Structure 1
Amino acid sequence: MSVFKSLVIASIFLSTAVNAQPSSAVYRNGMVVCAYPDASKVGVDILKKGGNAVDAAVAVQFALAVTLPEAGNIGGGGFMVYRSAKGEANTLDYREKAPATATTNMFLDAAGNVVPNMSLSTHFASGVPGSVDGMITAHKKYGKLKWADLVQPAIDLAERGFVITAHLANDLNRTADAFRKGNPGKTYMLKDTPWKAGELLVQQDLASTLKLIRDKGRDGFYDGLVAKQIADEMKSGGGLITQTDLKNYHSVWRKPIIGKYKNYKIITMPPPSSGGIALLQLLSAVEKYPLHRWGYNQDSTVQLIVEAERRVYADRSKYLGDPDYFKVPVDSLLNPAYTAKRMQSFNWNKATPSSDIKPGSFVGYESDQTTHFSIVDKEGSAVSITTTLNGSFGSKIFVKGAGFLLNNEMDDFSSKAGVPNMFGVTGGKANSIQPGKRMLSSMTPTIMEKGGKLFMVVGTPGGSTIITAVYQTILDVIEFNQDMQQAVSSKRFHHQWLPDEVSIETAATFTDEVKQKLEAKGYKIVVKGPMNRVDAILLNKDGSLQGGADPRGDDTVTGW
């Protein structure tokens, strides 16, 4: 048997074995839950070698850049929430930034209208990538193992190839025409016949880029050959990112947003993520109500949650942005009295039209495709990371010679006040485009404590639905007594102020009776298909780890 065939069979066996899990996987020494089986195994291998949660996170981030090209990346950015075994909490912002020559009106035509797709599928769509600097910064502060040992598994996956799943094959086939259109003269991830599950995907140029990152650290990406390749790619399509932009990029440690829901402590991401503030607002809005008695996805439960979401997303549109450029009124937004006031207009007898809901006001105020992974190590340290290219496969433009995809995160800015982005989210001045500014995000990586001990690590991709999916997953566990896998698998619904509709996954998300009661009160219910891919870990009372990997994708729980 050839070495090639042996590698293919071994990889197929590995992926199958990793995916063959009980409905709620339980391990004692460490756990990784992420969006691709090979990357999940990479993370656990690092834990077994004595690495901590941050070491494993670095290895998983790079492995996903190889195995999950839709969202895993070195050409994008993300957020990390960290909690040590002793309870120390920290957050790392490695979100992309607008290039130095970006302008507020760069996506508008002469008449002041947004140019279709300019912020999505052109070289102008990309912000300065932050993922590599983020991993270097996290490792420098908290890592134990050698940097090179954490990047090497991703190099092996790229150089030797890995077996693709049906999900990835379908995504590659669906995007092939866009790859051809956006990448003249490049053949990355293209072949003459459609991709099929079980085939090997080899990425030699990406492997070479990863080797430079392994050997030179930050300079392997933000300086030298790769930086020149990125700048040359930008020039070829009229894009804005320069070698100077790359040299000037740095991730930022930020103070976590910390709050409470009943007797649980919530540690989550501050701006420029809108997720942490929104999550705490949502939990505060429903805390006094008997959700447990009403029950999972019952009409009263759904109505209350939808009305809370409606008001929180209205606030998001005005008050949230990059705190380095805009004063975000964190304390005011998280004041329980403010949340209670916002819910006073809630009427049990009918839906509140979104046209009647405006962003709140304060005294003295001065103005889809993403991925997530959760990790807990043997000592009890935890990492929750959400990372993204924004749309699936980002801008769908590869860096010639470097073999990786660029993000289309510039669409997460408000190209024009009141005009929705690709996720239908409306924004304003707080999230306008400015040079060097980080665009607003919905990413909501979160860690929870109970009684001073680790309780849950949770997060998800999904654009504007990220916040509501994390929110509902937490409630499913705390209020509706679901185990971690049940909560991750549960059907979800979503409301984001505008458009004024309740999105559900399938017609069966609500019972006919619940749907009829809600529609009679004026709620417009729309079936939108699968929402989010939540990956989460729950600490059991006996100290074991219970994993939940979302069945909507190739998400996998691996542990030891």
Structure 2
Amino acid sequence: MRYLSFVVLFVLLAVAGCRKNPSASKGAYTFITDDPGAKPFISDKKGVFQPHVMAASAHPEASKVGAAIMKKGGNAVDAAVATFFALSVVHPSAGNLGGGGFMVFRDKSGQSFALDFREKAPYAASRDMYLDEKGDVVPNMAWLGHSASGVPGSVDGMAVAHQRFGKLSWKEVIQPAIELAENGVALTDDEAKGLNRVRSDIRKFNPGEPYFLKAGVDTVWKTGELHVQADLGKTLRRIQEKGRAGFYEGETAQLLIAEMAKAKAPIVQKDLDDYHSAWRTPITGTYRGYKVISMSPTSSGGIALVQLMKLVEPYPLKKWGWHSDSTTQVIIEAERRVYADRAKWLGDPDFFKVPAKELLEPAYLAKRWSDFDWNKASDSKAISGGAIPGYESNETTHLSVVDAEGAAVSITTTINNGYGSRVVVNGAGFLMNDEMEDFAVKPGVPNVFGLVGAEANSVQPGKRMLSSMTPTILEKDGKLFMVVGTPGGSTIITSVFQTIVNVIDHGMSMQEAVNALKFHHQWLPDRTTFEQGAFSEKVLAKLRSKGYKIEPQAGTLGRMDCILVLPDGTLEGGSDPRGDDTSVGW
């Protein structure tokens, strides 16, 4: 009886919580707070408005490449592929040839596609390869150095996407990246600081090699200096000439194999030969009348995002206000339950039966919410992944593109932590990933992001590791509405979710939603972190009085690159002031 009553209440709240759609206005949001001196935004950066096309990415040069490709007659996929390869040159902390990721694509007719080019464990990998003789996790082994890398999927993914949907030639979309590598690019302040920060690791794992280092042991990079990458340019030329084979076969493959021979589970030619991206069925759902199209497993992002939206949809977030105590409590409790489900149920669908449909069932979500208590914080120790009847049991980058015909691409790609494993393939000039850390290297033990995994995400040869990447596209009444995504490790899902809610519920413009201060909860560890200034002292006091552990984040959350379609068809690019992120259109 109690459960039936809750389901009835859930439905009634859903009806009450619906409201008329907000106009996608240019800065219509009004901040409601008990502190008149507070500001909801990390910056007053303004959005970029253009009538025809938009490319938003983590680096201005890469975004310029995307816009230029569309100016040349290319479509959204051409622009996304060109932007991707440009990022592999200008944004080495996350842009990559040696990593992997996910693409969500909505064509001009409204059909949607999802491409999984996530890395895979080498065939030589084993379940306990990162444990010592006592069964304990060997510190940093899955995070730094040669043994941290999975088989790269990035080049295969871009080749597969372009072959199916591209309009311009492969040669044309690769050429801008080659020119950036061979001619050099002026370092931004962030890029110079990043290279200087990791120089000791680069030297440690690449002794005697010159990559990403200035001449002289104590010489540091300075903002504006030209960074030329000749070997990376040669690698890109081989990819330009031979497509996928220019990376997974021939000279580049031999260089990669020679470098990875130093690993405990080396990548060999068979690993490269057998790597293929996988087309998946996108995860779809609705939120207040908007259709949500997101990434399916091996990404956890789509399922988690739709779960979050369905859990909070019954509540009047607009009425309560942005980051009020009620809005915040509901979101924290939803995030707690969703991340518990992520840990238990999500993994590579080629190896584990992921119950995607069951996790999104209204009755299942209502049951997950049945122990929510307004008077006190839930205890994460008492909340595990939900029971499904009948079922057997931080550096990334994002780009968003919209072309002149209304097609849209959302790509999130990664080498995991900043500068990946810190291993550069000698002679090829690109960094390898440290994605093996994204497996549950020991089920139940947290990874570097604090995420806890179960057997569904254990290490197995040829298996893809679970990800939080959440490339997403939204529609309204059958028309393109928003393209959204971010880096941020375990915080990706919550940052994407809050950005969408900021527009739909709180009436923010795209750039305001990106600028808005954010918070994060992921089940374990049982605490909420927030960007400085995200909450008033009154809200913090009220939440803490209910038992919430809530503390400021040391840095920032997310680096969003998003595009919003305004009612008149104008595109608003919203790129994050937390980094070099830039929107470019025409």
Q: Give the TM bin, normalised by the shorter chain.
A: over 0.9
- The residue that corresponds to 1:105 in the other structure is 128
- Superposed CA offset, 1:51-74 (max 9, x none): 000000110110000000000000
Change (3 A) 1:436 1:337: same
Q: What is the rounded CA distance, in whole Å, between the counterparts of 2:351 and 2:45 in structure 1?
A: 47
Aligned pair partner of 1:171 in 159, 184, 194: 194
Cα offsets for 1:522-559 (capped at 9, x unmatched): 11112112011011000000001011000000000100
Asked whether 1:159 is paired with 2:159, we answer: no
Which residue number corresponds to residue 297 of structure 1? Answer: 323
The one of 40, 49, 65 aligned to 1:26: 49
SS in 1 for 2:369: helix
8 A contact 2:125–2:265 mirrored in 1? no
Match of 1:10 in 2: none
1:210 corresponds to 2:233: no
The residue that corresponds to 1:556 in the other structure is 582
* Mapping for residues 506-517 of structure 1, pairs under 5 Å: 506=532, 508-517=533-542
What is the distance in 1 between the residues matched to 2:140 and 2:462? Answer: 22
What code does the residue aligned with 2:485 have? Answer: G
CA distance in 2, matches of 1:516, 1:182: 47
TM-score by length of 1: 0.95
Matches within 5 A, 1:67-86: 67-86=90-109
> For 1:302-342, what per-residue CA distance to the aligned partner results, in whole angstroms no more than 9, with x for missing partners?
00000000000001111000000000001110001111111
- Counterpart in the other structure of 1:264: 290
Task: Give the 5 Å matches for 1:534-545.
Answer: 534-545=560-571
Match of 2:158 among 127, 132, 135: 135
Q: Post-superposition shift, 1:236?
A: 3.5
| CA distance in structure 1 between the partners assigned to 2:495 and 2:528 by the alignment | 13
Q: 1:400 aligns with which of 422, 426, 447?
A: 426
CA–CA distance in 2 between the matches of 1:212 and 1:243?
17
- Secondary structure in 1 matching 2:343: helix
CA distance in 1, matches of 2:352, 2:118: 16
Residue of structure 1 in register with 2:20 after alignment: none
**Which whole-Å deviations, capped at 9, do the CAs of 1:248-303 have from their partners, x for residues lacking one?**
10001111111111200000000010000000000000101000000001110000
Q: Is the 2:412–2:470 Cα contact (8 Å) retained in structure 1?
A: yes
Give the match's secondary structure for 1:184: coil
2:546 matched to which residue of 1? 521
Match of 1:95 in 2: 118
1:41 and 1:29, CA in 2 relative to 1: closer, same or farther beyond 3 A? same
| Partner residue, 1:7 | none
- Asked if 1 retains the 8 angstrom alpha-carbon contact of 2:45 and 2:515, the reply is no
User: In structure 2, how many angstroms separate the alpha carbons of the residues matched to 1:299 and 1:470?
Assistant: 20
CA distance in 1: counterparts of 2:523 and 2:187, whole angstroms: 38
The DSSP-based 3-state class of the residue aligned with 1:345 is coil
CA distance in 2, matches of 1:494, 1:337: 26
Letter in 2 for 1:259: G
Percent identity for Structure 1 against Structure 2: 59
SS of residue matched to 1:128: coil
* Inter-partner Cα distance in structure 1 for 2:304 and 2:461: 26
Match of 1:11 in 2: none
Shift of 1:461: 0.3
2:540, 2:474 → 1: CA distance? 32
Amino acid in the other structure paired with 1:63: A
Determine the structure 1 residue equivalent to 2:36.
none
Which structure 1 segments of 5+ residues have no match?
Answer: 1-20
What letter matches 1:367 in structure 2?
S
Alignment of 1:96-495 (within 5 A): 96-191=119-214, 192=216, 193-495=219-521
Distance in 1 (alpha carbons) for counterparts of 2:456 and 2:262: 32
Which stretch shifts more, 527-536 or 32-41? 527-536
SS at match of 2:257: helix
Residue aligning to 1:502: 528
Shift in Å at residue 22 of structure 1?
Answer: 6.7
Secondary structure of 1:307 counterpart = helix
The answer on 1:43 being equivalent to 2:69 is no
3-state secondary structure, aligned to 1:47? helix
1:238 CA drift (Å): 4.5
3-state secondary structure, aligned to 1:538: strand
Aligned partner of residue 132 in structure 1, secondary structure:
helix
CA distance in 1: counterparts of 2:346 and 2:206, whole angstroms: 35
Deviation of 1:237 after TM superposition, in Å, equals: 4.5
Deviations 1:481-507 (A, max 9, x none): 00000000100000000000001111x
Q: CA deviation at 1:247?
A: 1.1
CA distance in 2, matches of 1:229, 1:236: 12
1:362 shift after superposition? 1.2
The letter for the 2-side match of 1:441 is S
What SS is found at the alignment partner of 1:430? helix
> How far apart, in 1, do the equivalents of 2:265 and 2:446 lie?
23
Aligned alpha-carbon RMSD (Å) = 0.9
Structure 1 equivalent of residue 28 of structure 2: none
* 1:43-101 per-position Cα deviation (integer Å, ceiling 9, x unaligned): 00000000000000110110000000000000000000000111010000000000011
Q: Is the 8 A contact 2:124 2:265 kept in 1?
A: no
